Amino acid sequence: MSTATTKPLSLLVTGTIGIDTVETPTARAERVLGGSAAYFAAAASRLAPVRLVGVVGDDLPAHHRTILEGLKGVDLGGLETRNGGKTFAWGGKYLLNLNERETLFTELGVVADAPPQVPASFADSELVFLGNTHPAVQAGLLEQVSGRKLVVADTMDLWINIAHDDLVHLLSKVDGIVLNDSEAAQLTGVRNAITAGRRILGYGPQFAVVKKGEHGAVLVHRDGVAVVPAFPAEEDMVVDPTGAGDTFAGGFMAHLARTGRTDFETLQTALSWGTVMASFTIGAFSLDGVARASADQLAERYSRFARHARV
Ligand code: AMP
């Protein structure tokens, strides 16, 4: 797409809105609000308006809905509630180092039924983020957004294992992909994150963002390669890493949306905004860390990060 414009771009996210139960070595959160789209929207909306498309059951606790409704800048016009349906629920447990986690359960609920519909009023969205779900569903959702100019997808090991061909087909239709280093290795058979990223470009996208947890992220783009460290978080800054990946993506995409640009340099800066959003997310359970940070705290952390990472 052209990068000459500086008009903000509209942003849409699809993904899960879920009920999470999370155990860390020192604490536990029971049935708190989570899900890929909820985390993404909470982070993105700190920088730019975001339209959310997703589906929940009528069992979604009222206080979770109230939290979603309280996210300023999130348009819930694409949030569908299915009567009699069960909301997506996920349980995870972190190991001592807080870097590795085990999934205890995944209850797809309404997410296993028909995918949500993109409302007609959202079809003109210019930037689209396809949160983690079956790649065939992601492909169906993107077709519904006729105004799309840049589409970025997330994926995970499960789909690489059970829906490899659908994922390869999806890659031929998107502009960018965000995945972690073990997933990139699994998809390409290559352990080196940069070489794996280049292989992924061979499937069609313009760029791949390969996340390396506490070691930061790499952007492999047709126009170049960029690296970003993780925020240098001390032990007491990390309460619950859940949602770090989704809020990274939210900060990344929202920076593109607000600048109206998608060139390599803008993507490189967007990596840092993603990192800053993730650093707030890990400081509390659920969406609290990223949703409650003040605008001044966000700006202060961005400049602190820029100082830390300066070369
Ligand atoms: P992250 O820590 O960024 O990987 O995101 C964790 C969030 O993703 C949690 O809030 C979960 O509810 C959600 N999640 C976990 N597994 C899945 C899945 N298979 N599909 C979609 N969302 C998921």
Mind listing the pLDDT tens digit for each residue in 252-269? 999 999 999 999 999 999
Query: At residue 116, does pLDDT exceed 60?
Result: yes
- Say yes or no: CB of residue 133 within 6 Å of ligand 1: yes
pLDDT at 5: 56
pLDDT tens readout for residues 278-291: 999 999 999 999 99
pLDDT above 70 for 93: yes
Please give the average per-residue pLDDT across 98-102, as a whole number: 88
Nearest ligand 1 atom to the CA of 18 is 12
Residue 1: inside a domain, yes or no? no
Q: Which one, of 136, 153, 121, lies nearest residue 40 by Cα? A: 153
Q: What span, in angstroms and rounded, lies between the C-alpha atoms of 206 and 180?
A: 17
| 149 in any annotated domain | yes
> Which residue blocks in 83-230 are alpha helix, DSSP H?
135-143, 157-162, 164-171, 181-188, 193-201
Which pTM was predicted?
Answer: 0.96
Checking if the pLDDT of 214 tops 90, the result is: no
Domains held by the chain: number: 1
Average pLDDT over residues 34-43: 97
Ligand 1 pocket mutation pick from 90, 133, 179, 280 by most atoms within 8 angstroms of CB: 90
For residue 4, pLDDT beyond 90: no
Closest ligand 1 atom, residue 90 Cα: 12
- pLDDT of the residue at 283: 95
Mean pLDDT along residues 74-97: 96
74 in a domain, yes or no?
A: yes
Contact assessment for residue 72 and residue 275, using Cβ atoms and an 8 Å cutoff? no
Are 89 and 19 in contact by the 8 Å Cβ rule? The answer is yes
Q: Read off the pLDDT of residues 124-136 as tens digits, 9 standing for 90 and up.
A: 999 999 999 889 9
* Residue bearing the CA closest to ligand 1, atom 21: 132
16 lines ligand 1 (CB under 6 A): yes
Q: How far apart are the first and last CA of the chain?
A: 30
**Which pLDDT value is given to residue 206?**
98
Answer whether residue 135 is part of any domain.
yes
pLDDT class of 226 with cuts at 50, 70, 90: very high
Ligand 1 contact, 285 CB (< 6 A): no
Identify the domain containing residue 298 by its residue range: 11-309
**Among 103, 132, 157, 212, which residue has the most ligand 1 atoms within 8 Å of its CB, making it the best to mutate?**
132
Q: Is 243 in the pocket of ligand 1 (CB under 6 A)?
A: yes
Summarize the confidence of residues 213-222 as an average pLDDT: 94
With a cut of 60, say whether residue 64 has pLDDT above it.
Answer: yes
Buried b (16+ CB within 10 A) or exposed e, 97-109: ebeeeeeeeeeeb
Q: What is the mean pLDDT of residues 187-216?
A: 96
Provide the CATH number for the domain around residue 142. Answer: 3.40.1190.20
The pLDDT value recorded for residue 231 is 94
Assigned domain for 3 exists? no
Residue 26 maps to a domain: yes
- 131 inside domain: yes
In this structure, which residue's CA is closest to atom 5 in ligand 1?
Answer: 243
Looking at per-residue confidence, does 112 or 5 come out higher? 112
Mean pLDDT over each residue of the chain, to the nearest integer:
95
CB atoms within 10 A of CB 83: 6
- Asked, for residue 6, whether it belongs to a domain, the answer is no
